[in-house]
């Protein structure tokens, strides 16, 4: 049996890491089912937010990257390369790793529509249709969604959702006729161990420093709880002007902005800190959350992620964004948690991840998504 040919279009890929979850989603997917599916990836020639291309890759040709053929496109060659590959390679499926990307979703969709190839498309919105995400730059997004629906895109292609709440959001925004397939993301490999609490009361934030991730809200809750002696490390890229704004807001707090780090360095930071905290406005998965739990690091997260049951499992706290006072209470409670309670919570974090993910079952679901099962 021939392997299904799947062309993935995504803004960023390895060796990039600054875009976070979207890169990990594809890299982990390829690692899980790459033996059974013939993947090719077309992506940009630079990491998220970078003005210069990668120095270690060749442009506009396919090359092997961890067992997968990847083409890094210079900005002026993206659509030409996409059209050529669709015409010559004739993939069974074209997988779009974003909804609002101009170069890797919108333009390819228009081309595929003109060529009557939309039934081949699987589109992963990556949480972009969640209520919290739509509140950011709402006018542009609503205009695009109106156009998207009027052309009939939502009825002619499939959408890949990673949890039930995202499935509901997709249907709510795009209409009941939308074809949604629900398969959770592939987590990174894990194998951590339970940790002891450190005396510094250290909190760790790992994500892009952007309004969607709600870092300003986190600073405000720390101030309200008067946690001036606790330390917060912020790992992630940010626009220079926004970073200066956050630095001004945090002058009375013990906050360390360390910039973007690669996955190995993030693992080191998780092992150094007591708690992972993310008051995000919306996550369809949240790779950083799962990686924190897999390192035995309890988490404090908003109620806008799929992991709504982790508090009842004793692996951390899920706090409603509308209840700012509750956030301050939880941060203070975490700071004052005793060593035995903390170690138990760390063990629960590890158990939570192991219980949530069956990689063999997940592999079967992805093979079915891409038509690789008999």
| Strands of the chain, DSSP E | 5-9, 38-44, 62-65, 68-73, 93-96, 121-123, 158-161, 179-182, 202-206, 231-235, 254-259, 275-278, 299-302, 316-319
Whether 270 and 298 have beta carbons less than 8 Å apart is answered as no
Q: How far apart are CA 284 and CA 156, in angstroms?
A: 23
Asked if 155 contacts 178 with a C-beta cutoff of 8 angstroms, the reply is yes
Is 1 a residue whose pLDDT tops 70? no
Q: At what angle are helices 240-249 and 215-224 packed, to 10 degrees?
A: 10
Tens of pLDDT, residues 245-288: 999 999 989 999 999 999 889 989 998 999 999 999 988 899 99
Residue range 336-349, pLDDT digits in tens: 999 999 999 999 99
Q: Is the pLDDT of residue 155 over 90?
A: no
Cα 127–Cα 38–Cα 70 angle in degrees, nearest 5? 70
Mean pLDDT of 82-104: 95
Contact (CB, 8 A) for 41 and 68: yes
Q: Decide if 5-187+358-369 and 202-356 have a common fold.
A: yes
The architecture CATH gives domain 5-187+358-369: 3-Layer(aba) Sandwich (3.40)
Residues in the chain: 374
Q: What is the side-by-side strand order in the sheet with 121-123?
A: 62-65, 68-73, 38-44, 5-9, 93-96, 121-123, 158-161, 179-182
Mark out the alpha helices in 56-156 (DSSP H runs). Answer: 78-89, 107-114, 131-134, 138-151, 153-156
pLDDT value of position 161: 94
* Residue 290 in this model has a pLDDT that exceeds 90: yes
pLDDT of residue 225 exceeding 90, the answer is no
Q: What is the number of helices (H) and of strands (E) in the chain?
A: 14, 14
pTM comes to 0.86
Mean pLDDT of 208-228: 91
Residue 71 pairs with which residues in a beta bridge? Answer: 42, 62
CA angle (158, 162, 166) in 5-degree steps? 80
Predicted confidence band of residue 36 (pLDDT cuts 50, 70, 90) = very high
DSSP for 291-326 reads HHHHTT--EEEESSSS-TTTTTTTSEEEE-TT-HHH
- CA distance linking residue 298 with residue 317, whole number of Å: 8
Q: What is the pLDDT of residue 253?
A: 92
Of the candidates 35, 22, 91, the one whose C-alpha atom is nearest the C-alpha of residue 367 is 35
* Burial (Cβ within 10 Å: 0-12, 13-18, ≥19) of residue 166: buried
Q: pLDDT (tens digit, 9 = 90+) per residue, 294-304?
A: 999 999 999 99
Q: Hey, CA dihedral for 183, 189, 194, 199, is it positive or negative? A: negative
Q: CB atoms < 10 A from the CB of 137, how many? A: 12
d(CA 5, CA 38): 5
61 Cβ partners below 8 Å, 6+ apart?
Answer: 71
- Closest by CA to 128, choosing from 141, 143, 140, is 141
Whether residue 307 has pLDDT greater than 90: yes
CB 166 within 8 A of CB 130: yes
Q: What is the pLDDT of residue 192?
A: 64
Which CATH architecture does the domain made up of 202-356 adopt?
3-Layer(aba) Sandwich (3.40)
Ordered by start, the domain boundaries in the chain are: 5-187+358-369, 202-356
């Amino acid at each position: 049996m021939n392997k299904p040919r799947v062309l993935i279009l995504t803004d960023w890929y390895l060796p990039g890491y600054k875009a976070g979850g979207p890169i990990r989603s594809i890299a982990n997917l390829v690692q899980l089912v790459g033996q059974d599916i013939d993947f090719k990836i077309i992506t940009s020639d630079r990491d998220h937010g970078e003005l210069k291309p990668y120095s270690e890759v060749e442009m506009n040709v396919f090359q092997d990257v961890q067992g997968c053929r990847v083409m890094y496109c210079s900005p002026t060659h993206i659509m030409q390369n996409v059209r050529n590959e669709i015409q010559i390679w004739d993939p069974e499926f074209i997988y779009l790793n974003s909804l609002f990307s101009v170069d890797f979703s919108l333009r390819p969709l228009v081309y595929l529509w003109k060529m009557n190839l939309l039934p081949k498309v699987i589109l992963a919105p990556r949480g972009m249709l969640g209520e919290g995400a739509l509140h950011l730059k709402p006018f542009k997004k609503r205009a695009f969604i109106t156009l998207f629906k009027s052309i009939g895109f939502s009825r002619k292609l499939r959408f890949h959702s990673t949890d039930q709440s995202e499935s509901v959001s997709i249907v709510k925004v795009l209409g009941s006729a939308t074809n949604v397939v629900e398969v959770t993301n592939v987590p990174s490999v894990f194998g951590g161990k339970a940790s002891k609490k450190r005396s510094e009361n250290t909190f760790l934030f790992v994500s892009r420093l952007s309004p969607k991730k709600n870092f300003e809200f986190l600073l405000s809750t720390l101030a309200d709880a008067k946690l001036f002696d606790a330390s917060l490390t912020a790992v992630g890229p940010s626009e220079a002007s926004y970073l200066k704004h956050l630095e001004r807001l945090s002058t009375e707090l013990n906050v360390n902005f360390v910039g973007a780090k690669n996955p190995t360095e993030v693992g080191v930071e998780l092992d150094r800190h007591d708690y992972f905290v993310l008051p995000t406005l919306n996550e369809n998965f949240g790779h950083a959350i799962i990686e924190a739990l897999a390192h035995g690091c309890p988490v404090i997260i908003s109620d806008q992620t799929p992991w709504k049951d982790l508090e009842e499992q004793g692996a951390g706290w899920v706090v409603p964004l509308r209840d700012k006072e509750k956030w301050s209470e939880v941060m203070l409670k975490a700071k004052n948690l005793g060593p035995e309670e903390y170690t138990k919570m760390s063990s629960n974090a590890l158990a939570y991840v192991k219980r949530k993910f069956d990689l063999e079952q997940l592999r079967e679901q992805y093979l079915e998504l891409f038509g690789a099962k008999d």
